Structure 1
Amino acid sequence: MKKVTWKIQYDSTPLIHRHCKKCGKKTRFKSSDQFRINAQRQYLDIWLIYKCTKCNTTWNATIFSRISPQALTSEQLNQFQENDQALAKNYAFDFDLLRKNGAEYELPAFSIVGDDIGTGESAEVKLISEYILPIKVSTLLRKKLHLSQKSFRELVENGRIKDASGQNLLKSKLNGETTIIFLP
């Protein structure tokens, strides 16, 4: 059985839809990959700064509110202070955090990179995403394999495509990584 790895690569971070005070309407906001830290007596507030794509007005997504500096390691605090790009990207892809901040998000454009598998050959495909996406595994597989929903459903129902852990491929969402079995 051929073993293949498919990795999801993102073109950008998710865009946020919010009301922009300057534009006077709902617009898109993009992560600036920068943090704002504010000290209030013995506590810290930490935000990820977003900018309106039309007028550059800023909106701050709360990461921590009234947190004790001792609750963060010195390395974490340093990452926030130095606007660590990887950390900013992690928070920009944290869909639960965005939801808690009342933001509507738009999934970023992405591509699925990895060797193609031929039709009629057995393969074990590890599908990997650096971030947890609120998107169904079936959508990702259909995009990579260029299949219609009906064709994909038939392959799953006939047992030619299945999840190695036994999850329902038509309903499960990608949580980091999953292994898919393709049978001839």
Structure 2
Amino acid sequence: MDCRSESATTGEGRFRVNANGKLLDVWLLVRCVSCNRTSKLTVHERTSVRSFDPAELHGYGVNDPDLVAARLLDPWLARRNRFTLDWTGAWRLDIPPARLDEAWPVQVQVVFEDPIPVRPERLIAHGLGLSRPEVLRRIKCDIPLRRTTSAGFTFTVMAGD
């Protein structure tokens, strides 16, 4: 009986590479956190060996953890294999204690340790304890607030009314 859970983890993050003549199949092995069953996510299917970057091919062979993370974060791979990643609790905005004498506006730089997709307006609202409309009113950002990003950004908090 197949597990109906939609949550999975990479476990040890291993690739499986299968050669058929000059064509390669590459899968990423994942383990379901609910039933502990291992499944394969298709990374490449019947792809010519010549089309691979040598470093990428080597990464598949040695189960490079950075390559595992890159493939799991690849939206094309997620669509192809019909999976989504659960980002619940994967990010937080660390804020120094508020200083009442601090002059407005306040500039904040956001840096991600890992490329986790998040909407800046959601991160800022949650981190600063503001409503989303208040974020849109008081925050000036170097990227669109309502667009998902996984790259760092800078925003400025304007004084409240």
Which TM-score band applies after superposition, normalised by the shorter structure? 0.7 to 0.9
Say whether the 8 Å CA contact 1:48–1:60 is kept in structure 2: yes
User: Displaced runs of 4+ in structure 1, greater than 4 A?
Assistant: none
Q: Which has the higher strand share?
A: 1
Describe how 1:21-170 pairs up with structure 2 within 5 A: 21=2, 23=3, 25-32=4-11, 33-112=13-92, 114-116=94-96, 118=98, 121-129=104-112, 130-131=114-115, 133=117, 135-147=118-130, 149=131, 152-157=132-137, 160-165=138-143, 167=144, 169=145
Letter matched to residue 97 of structure 1: L
Match of 2:149 in 1: 174
Aligned Cα root-mean-square deviation (Å): 2.4
TM-score between the two structures when normalised by the length of structure 2 = 0.79
Q: Percent identity?
A: 23
Distance 1:37 1:155, change over 3 A: closer
Letter matched to residue 173 of structure 1: T
Letter matched to residue 136 of structure 1: R
TM-score between the two structures when normalised by the length of structure 1 = 0.71
Deviation at 1:54, TM superposition (A): 3.5
Q: SS at 1:144's partner residue? A: helix
Q: SS at 2:85's partner residue? A: strand
Per-residue CA distance 1:118-158 (angstroms, 9 max, x = gap): 3763222222334251x3211111222123x3xx413432x
> Any gaps of 5 or more consecutive residues in structure 1?
1-19
Number of paired residues?
Answer: 154
Q: SS at 1:38's partner residue? A: strand
User: Residues of 1 paired with 2:54 and 2:69: CA distance?
Assistant: 20
Between 1 and 2, higher relative CO (CA 8 Å, sep ≥ 6) is seen in: 1
User: Residues of 2 paired with 1:113 and 1:28: CA distance?
Assistant: 25
